């Protein structure tokens, strides 16, 4: 028997009897861990949260929390008996109560909870909602309503907290600050949390593990670093939009050869026999700019992204390769100009498919 705090075993997540995400298995090892589920819109992330909360039933597999089976083919613990809190993406505040009353309803559940009591003031300050306490849900912005909903969920101090796109309506300028605050309080209170988001940076920051859901499956469930640098499938690469795949031939233990780029060195994360033809993942940060280099590629596009430029370069075989260059870089290249690539090309982690 495993000692995981939370565990999903071979579950099909259904909506109206139809499987939305199939054969899902993952676990949260320790109480207080935060994990994130990433995936495009409509893929079934919310369905997973609703099912864990007990709002949808399962026909296959098991969902266990703290050793107790919550859902299976035969068992379905009612949502009100699970002590799992779900903060919905849309505004699910009680419209006839003020924000304050709404938040306080969260504390009703844990009157007898032996956990460390969460201070209402602390949570109000944390989420910066003091100014809306006396307002009604329809009188506040979507972002404020979302934060109030989050406050209510936090105050209920559940065994498992489920957050569905918790910051999707929060202003970009405030988002990162809130992320820091949320992470701090969740860690402080040791609230085990599953966060669903489509923002990979949010997931990488908040989660100790990330799950990628694509094409009705949980494709990868791993540390954010590994998900980012060692995507395990072409689908994950495409979803994270981390680069492009170019054909290459394995020429040695640490080298490959590409027709346009020449020799590429680095550490393979997986061994391939010499001579085998692979699809090499080229990420924007893998190539370095060097005007003195004799490897020149044509600039077809340049995007200013604040901290950096993303150049799109065309090779002689018409492959388009993205390259990051720091935006303070003095020497800028216009479209149609030649762009030098530093040789030899060294990639820290070589990911091939």
Residues near another protein (CB under 8 A): 50, 53-55, 78-86, 88, 90, 92-97, 105-106, 108-109, 149, 152, 156
Neighbours of 330 (CB within 10 A): 4
Which residue, 47 or 85, is less far from another protein as judged by CB? 85
Quote the CA–CA distance of 235 and 226 in Å, as a whole number: 15
Distance set, CA 291 to CA 182, 288, 343 (Å): 44, 10, 11
- Minimal distance, residue 152 CB to another protein, in Å: 7
Supply the DSSP symbol for 341. E
Which residue, 53 or 341, is less far from another protein as judged by CB? 53
Query: Residue 40 burial by CB count (10 A; 0-12/13-18/19+): exposed, middle or buried?
Result: exposed
Which residue, 17 or 306, is less far from another protein as judged by CB? 17
- Minimal distance, residue 192 CB to another protein, in Å: 15
Which residue, 95 or 344, is less far from another protein as judged by CB? 95
Which residue, 55 or 259, is less far from another protein as judged by CB? 55
Which residue, 155 or 350, is less far from another protein as judged by CB? 155
- Minimal distance, residue 179 CB to another protein, in Å: 23
Residues written for the chain: 353
DSSP string, 52-77: HHTSS--SSSEEEETTEEEESSS-B-
- Minimal distance, residue 50 CB to another protein, in Å: 8
- Minimal distance, residue 17 CB to another protein, in Å: 13
- Minimal distance, residue 20 CB to another protein, in Å: 17
Supply the DSSP symbol for 47. H
- Minimal distance, residue 53 CB to another protein, in Å: 6
Which residue, 62 or 153, is less far from another protein as judged by CB? 153
Among the residues of 44-171, which ranges form H helices?
Answer: 45-53, 99-108, 120-127, 142-155
Edge to edge, what strands does the sheet with 160-164 contain?
84-87, 160-164, 192-197, 34-38, 209-214, 217-222
**Tokens representing 108?**
């009703």
């Amino acid at each position: 028997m495993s000692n995981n705090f939370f565990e999903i075993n071979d579950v099909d997540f259904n909506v109206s009897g139809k499987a939305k995400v199939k054969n899902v298995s993952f676990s949260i090892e320790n109480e207080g861990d935060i994990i994130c589920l990433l995936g495009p819109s409509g893929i079934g992330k919310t369905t997973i949260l609703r099912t864990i909360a007990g709002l949808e039933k399962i026909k296959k597999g098991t969902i266990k929390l703290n050793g107790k089976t919550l859902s299976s083919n035969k068992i379905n613990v009612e949502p009100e008996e699970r002590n799992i809190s779900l903060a919905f993406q849309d505004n699910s505040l009680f419209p006839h109560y003020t924000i304050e009353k709404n938040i306080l309803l969260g504390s009703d559940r844990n009157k007898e909870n032996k956990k460390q009591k969460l201070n209402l003031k602390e949570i109000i300050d944390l989420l910066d909602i003091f100014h809306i306490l006396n307002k009604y849900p329809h009188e506040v912005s979507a972002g404020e309503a979302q934060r109030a909903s989050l406050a209510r969920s936090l105050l209920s101090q559940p065994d498992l907290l489920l957050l569905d796109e918790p910051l999707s309506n929060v202003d970009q300028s405030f988002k990162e600050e809130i992320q820091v605050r949320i992470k701090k309080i969740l860690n402080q209170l040791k609230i085990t949390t599953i966060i669903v988001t489509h923002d990979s940076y949010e997931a990488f920051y908040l989660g100790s593990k990330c799950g990628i859901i694509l094409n009705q499956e949980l494709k990868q469930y791993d540390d954010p670093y590994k998900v980012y640098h060692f995507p395990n499938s072409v689908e994950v690469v495409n979803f994270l939009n981390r680069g492009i795949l170019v054909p290459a031939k394995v020429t040695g233990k640490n080298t490959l050869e590409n027709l346009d780029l020449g020799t590429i060195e680095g550490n393979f994360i997986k061994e391939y026999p010499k001579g085998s033809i692979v699809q090499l993942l080229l990420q924007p940060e893998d190539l370095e700019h060097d005007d003195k280099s004799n490897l020149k590629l044509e600039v077809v596009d340049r995007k200013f992204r604040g901290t950096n430029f993303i150049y799109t370069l065309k090779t002689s075989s018409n492959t388009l390769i993205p390259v990051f260059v720091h935006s303070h870089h003095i020497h800028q290249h216009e479209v149609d100009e030649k762009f030098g690539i530093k040789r030899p090309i060294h990639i820290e982690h070589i990911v091939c498919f």
